């Protein structure tokens, strides 16, 4: 059986790494196709190096653009590779344009599709990611649900039970495989002059937040208020898109430490040692929950409700007063919740399922 693993962004590389490691361990016939949706060194190549996985055989270098432009370039580029390589199964992970473009190209060529992290729903169709994950789920042959909750979502949407497999989330595999290496290979706390559990960490990049001046300004105001009250550094590794919008909107956050995007091991170290994490990223919600670091989500909803149910996350929205209220709740809460995303063997289960279903 020949497999192709499609990646396009840093979260996909991180979450596919455990699957790739398992394929390597078994000397499987596979290759990596990178769409190039993320294309800077800090958002891309460094992750292959630090995670010690092979570089992609193909890189489509699609770059940025509108959703239609980017998805179209991915769709046509992936199709050309699939026609040349003729794999049996294509694997995608998550909810990006790379995921949807890869899945559509494969299914139209009658190549089986496996969707890692299937069944997540925010129930907010204004989010492009929500459309991507729904469409990908409904054209996949193997749906690898991270939790029983995700499985129940898929079954309720009419997807056959024999196509759904609860595997846990590969993010647990990645965290457990790499956490000890952060102390050996990263000294980012020293570089930023930070003390463990004496700073807040922020990530903020989603389109619905940073492409709205009102939402972005409101969140930054809430973060400024937190910095002023708690007198702690707030570290914000800023995505290029977010940096561009700050300049475009002429926003001037007063109390935030804006730094360049951080490599994987450095960011994992920042997460593990933070006192509080504030984010609009789904993956960071998961990682903070696994690491038992309190999290506040800067969105109106989440497709990771398990993090809220176990007590590791609070949904704040964008109003400064709500960000402040939710931050206080999480800072006062004991961080003894249980990780809801599995035992760190998701990659093994995913490969077992595919190779066992020849």
Residue in the block written with tokens 């979260």: 11
Rounded to whole angstroms, how far apart are CA atoms 35 and 19?
A: 18
- How far, in Å, are 96, 97, 115, 246 from residue 135 at the CA level? 11, 11, 11, 32
Residue whose C-alpha is closest to residue 204's, from 189, 190, 193, 215: 215
Rounded to whole angstroms, how far apart are CA atoms 150 and 306?
A: 10
Strand partners, 257: 235
Tokens of 45: 């190549």
Residue in the block written with tokens 């999290």: 295
Backbone angles phi, psi at 321, to 5 degrees: -70, -35
Residues 6+ positions from 58 with CB-CB distance below 8 Å: 31, 32, 33, 34, 81
Strand partners, 279: 203, 297
Asked if 302 and 106 count as a contact pair (C-beta separation under 8 A), the reply is: no
Backbone angles phi, psi at 187, to 5 degrees: -125, 40
Residue in the block written with tokens 């109003």: 319
Asked if 243 and 42 count as a contact pair (C-beta separation under 8 A), the reply is: no
Sheet holding 295-297, edge to edge: 256-259, 234-237, 200-203, 276-279, 295-297, 313-315
Residues 6+ positions from 109 with CB-CB distance below 8 Å: 79, 82, 83
CA angle, 39 as apex, 25 and 299 as ends, to 5°?
95
Rounded to whole angstroms, how far apart are CA atoms 279 and 86?
A: 40
User: What amino acid positions are annotated as catalytic residues?
Assistant: 205
């Amino acid at each position: 059986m020949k497999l192709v693993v499609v990646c396009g962004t840093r979260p996909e590389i991180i979450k596919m790494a455990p699957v790739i490691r398992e394929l390597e361990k078994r000397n499987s016939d596979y290759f990596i196709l990178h769409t190039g949706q993320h294309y800077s060194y800090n958002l891309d190549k460094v992750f292959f190096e630090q995670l010690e996985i092979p570089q992609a055989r193909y890189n489509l270098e699609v770059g940025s653009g509108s959703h239609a432009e980017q998805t179209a370039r991915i769709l046509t580029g992936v199709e050309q590779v699939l026609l040349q390589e003729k794999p049996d199964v294509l694997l995608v992970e998550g909810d990006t344009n790379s995921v949807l473009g890869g899945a559509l190209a494969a299914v139209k060529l009658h190549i089986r599709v496996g969707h890692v992290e299937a069944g997540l729903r925010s129930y907010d169709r204004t989010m492009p990611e929500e459309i991507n994950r729904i469409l990908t789920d409904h054209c996949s042959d193997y749906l690898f649900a991270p939790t029983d909750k995700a499985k129940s979502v898929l079954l309720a949407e009419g997807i056959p039970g024999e196509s759904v497999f609860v595997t846990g989330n590969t993010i647990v595999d990645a965290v457990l495989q790499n956490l000890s290496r952060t102390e050996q290979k990263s000294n980012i706390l020293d570089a930023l002059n930070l003390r463990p559990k004496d700073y807040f960490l922020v990530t903020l990049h989603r389109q619905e937040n940073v492409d709205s001046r009102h939402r972005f300004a409101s969140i930054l105001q809430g973060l400024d208020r937190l910095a002023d009250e708690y007198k702690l550094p707030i570290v914000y590794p800023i995505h290029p898109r977010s940096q561009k919008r700050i300049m475009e909107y002429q926003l001037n956050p007063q109390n935030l430490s804006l730094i360049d995007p951080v490599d994987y091991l450095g960011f994992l170290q920042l997460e593990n040692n933070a006192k509080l994490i504030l984010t609009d990223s789904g993956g960071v919600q998961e990682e903070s929950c696994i690491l038992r670091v309190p999290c506040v989500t800067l969105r109106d909803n989440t497709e990771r409700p398990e993090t809220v149910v176990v007590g590791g996350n609070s949904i704040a929205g964008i109003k400064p007063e709500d960000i402040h209220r939710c931050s206080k709740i999480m800072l006062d809460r004991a961080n003894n919740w249980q990780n809801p995303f599995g035992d760190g063997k998701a990659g093994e289960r995913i490969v077992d399922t595919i190779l066992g279903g020849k």
